[in-house]
């Protein structure tokens, strides 16, 4: 068997131990005589699986008890509409525009309320995260994208928002570094980058932001669809309808694996080490250069270009790089068309050896092609 190092922006690599465990439990999970894929989500067999996944996530992230954890579907993309639908009161929200995903969140929010884009890094093709110390004003909430998957940037520090709930799309860096959950009203993340296979979206929401007939915050307008209301899912423990059972199960295995291997402190150190190996090489290279500004560099997504100025020649070189890398077992390194060049996504479960192998390959490539 030849496993490759997958540098895709998502879905991404999972720990090999987790894949082996899932394989071993494929036909019979916990002596139930069935696969998790076959279990009723309301059965005694599945209950402890979803409960443990939630408990481990709470423990690893230090989620305070006044927050609910929801396992939803529709990806982070559906949260672009659920957030404004559920938080809209006065009808105005503040967004910071740091790239494509922020842009999509803004576009969707504009269907429901008026958006103030209070800062943007569009002027430099999103190569940095604008510094915003504080957000003030009459806003239902403020929205940030903690890590910008396409442009390879992240916040060094989040803005202070006082009483304005801060909402964060953390799809591409959740659980990669410490995050003070209590600073946020909502954190949401599609699971397929750092947590699990695709199909499940984690929403961490402060209880006082959940609206419904049984909630202190009061009810929502009647035209918010049942499936798009946070209270629907919070009241039913993510079991209003069938949750993505298998993805929740694998997330549980991933989180358990992380816990056994030193939890957040260990993965933080590992992620910083991996990123350093790659950025150190890129900074020293006369052939490649990283695109993101230093203070805003992502630990998860590293876009880089060759220094070749002629567009056609650069394109040909990129193609050659991506093809030769794939032959060497380093796959999915093509850059996003909005940045060009290459992008190495090095999420939580990309082994350090994978990053070392990439740098070794790049050194060879540089020597042969510079």
Ligand X SMILES: *Cc1c(COP(=O)(O)O)cnc(C)c1O
Residues in contact with ligand X, counted by CB under 6 A, come to a total of: 11
193 noted as active-site residue: yes
Q: Which is nearer to ligand X, 296 or 306 (CB)?
A: 296
**Stretch touching ligand X by CB under 6 A, among 63-71, 167-175, 177-185, 347-355:** 167-175
- Does position 171 bind ligand X by CB under 6 A? yes
- Residue tagged active-site, from 97, 140, 169, 231: 169
Compute the distance between CA of residue 325 and CA of residue 319 in angstroms, rounded to an integer.
10
H-helix or E-strand spanning residue 78: helix 75-87
- Does position 303 bind ligand X by CB under 6 A? no
Smallest gap from residue 182 Cβ to ligand X (A) = 22
Smallest gap from residue 345 Cβ to ligand X (A) = 9
Q: Which is nearer to ligand X, 190 or 341 (CB)?
A: 190
CB-CB contact of 10 with 149 (8 Å): yes
- Residue tagged active-site, from 193, 231, 270, 274: 193
The count of C-alpha atoms lying within 13 angstroms of the C-alpha of 135, restricted to the half-sphere facing its C-beta, is 27
- Does position 188 bind ligand X by CB under 6 A? no
- Does position 76 bind ligand X by CB under 6 A? yes
Smallest gap from residue 130 Cβ to ligand X (A) = 17
- Residue tagged active-site, from 88, 97, 101, 231: 101
Burial (CB count within 10 angstroms: exposed 0-12, middle 13-18, buried 19+), residue 77: middle
Burial (CB count within 10 angstroms: exposed 0-12, middle 13-18, buried 19+), residue 7: buried
**Single residue of 14, 70, 75, 115 touching ligand X by CB under 6 A:** 75
Number of other residues whose CB lies within 10 A of the CB of residue 13: 20
**Stretch touching ligand X by CB under 6 A, among 74-82, 118-126, 129-137, 355-363:** 74-82
Compute the distance between CA of residue 239 and CA of residue 237 in angstroms, rounded to an integer.
5
Q: Which is nearer to ligand X, 232 or 345 (CB)?
A: 345
For 140, residues 6+ apart whose C-beta sits below 8 A from its C-beta are 84, 87, 88, 89, 90, 91, 92, 93, 113, 164, 165
Compute the distance between CA of residue 273 and CA of residue 69 in angstroms, rounded to an integer.
30
Cα 100 from chain centre: 14
Q: CA nearest 203: which of 82, 120, 316?
A: 82
**Tokens 């989040």 found at:** 158
Binding marks (x or -) toward ligand X, 146..165, rule CB under 6 A?
---x----------------
**Stretch touching ligand X by CB under 6 A, among 33-41, 70-78, 135-143, 306-314:** 70-78
**Single residue of 5, 7, 8, 10 touching ligand X by CB under 6 A:** 10
Q: CA nearest 347: which of 130, 142, 105, 170?
A: 170
The full DSSP string for 185-219 is SEEEEETTTTTSSTT-EEEEEEGGG--STTSTT-P
319 noted as active-site residue: no
**Single residue of 12, 53, 127, 172 touching ligand X by CB under 6 A:** 172
Q: Which is nearer to ligand X, 103 or 351 (CB)?
A: 103
- Does position 84 bind ligand X by CB under 6 A? no
Compute the distance between CA of residue 104 and CA of residue 12 in angstroms, rounded to an integer.
22
Can you say whether residue 358 is alpha, beta or left, with left for phi > 0 and alpha for psi between -120 and 50 degrees? alpha
**Single residue of 34, 35, 73, 77 touching ligand X by CB under 6 A:** 77
- The residues in 92-131 that bind ligand X, with binding defined as CB under 6 A, are 101
Smallest gap from residue 152 Cβ to ligand X (A) = 11
Smallest gap from residue 300 Cβ to ligand X (A) = 9
The residues carrying an active-site annotation are: 101, 169, 193
Which spans of this chain sit near ligand X (rule: CB under 6 A)?
10, 75-77, 101, 145, 149, 169, 171-172, 190
């Amino acid at each position: 068997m030849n496993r490759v190092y997958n540098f895709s922006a998502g879905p991404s690599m999972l720990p090999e131990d987790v894949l082996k465990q899932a394989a071993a439990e494929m036909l019979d999970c916990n002596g139930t005589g069935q696969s998790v894929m076959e279990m009723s989500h309301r059965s005694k067999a599945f209950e402890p699986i979803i409960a443990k996944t939630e408990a481990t996530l709470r423990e690893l992230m230090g989620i305070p008890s006044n927050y609910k954890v929801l396992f939803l579907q529709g990806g982070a993309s559906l949260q672009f509409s659920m957030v404004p639908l559920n938080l809209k009161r006065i009808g105005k929200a503040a967004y910071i525009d740091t790239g494509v995903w922020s842009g999509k969140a803004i576009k969707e929010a504009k269907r429901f309320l008026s958006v103030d884009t209070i800062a943007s890094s569009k002027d430099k093709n999103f190569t940095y995260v604008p510094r915003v110390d504080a957000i003030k004003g009459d806003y239902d909430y403020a929205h940030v994208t903690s890590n910008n998957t396409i442009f390879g940037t992240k916040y060094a520090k989040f803005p202070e928002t006082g009483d304005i709930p801060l909402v964060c799309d953390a799809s591409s860096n959740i659980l990669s570094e410490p995050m003070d959950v209590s600073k946020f009203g909502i954190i949401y993340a599609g699971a397929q980058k750092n947590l699990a296979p695709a199909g499940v979206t984690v929403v961490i929401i402060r209880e006082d932001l959940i609206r419904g007939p049984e909630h202190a915050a009061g009810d929502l307008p009647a035209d918010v669809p049942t499936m798009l209301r946070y209270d629907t899912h919070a009241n039913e423990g993510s079991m209003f309808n069938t949750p993505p059972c298998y993805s929740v199960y694998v997330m549980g295995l991933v989180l358990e694996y992380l816990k056994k291997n030193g939890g957040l402190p260990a993965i933080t150190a590992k992620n910083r080490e991996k990123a350093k190996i790659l950025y150190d090489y890129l900074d020293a290279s006369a052939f490649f250069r990283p695109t993101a500004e230093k203070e805003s560099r992502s630990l998860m997504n590293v876009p880089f270009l060759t220094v070749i100025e002629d567009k056609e020649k650069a394109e040909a070189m990129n193609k050659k790089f991506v093809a030769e890398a794939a032959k060497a077992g380093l796959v999915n390194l093509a850059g996003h068309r909005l940045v060009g060049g290459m992008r190495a996504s090095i999420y939580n479960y990309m082994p350090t050896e994978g990053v070392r192998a990439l740098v070794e390959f790049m050194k060879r490539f540089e020597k042969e092609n510079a």
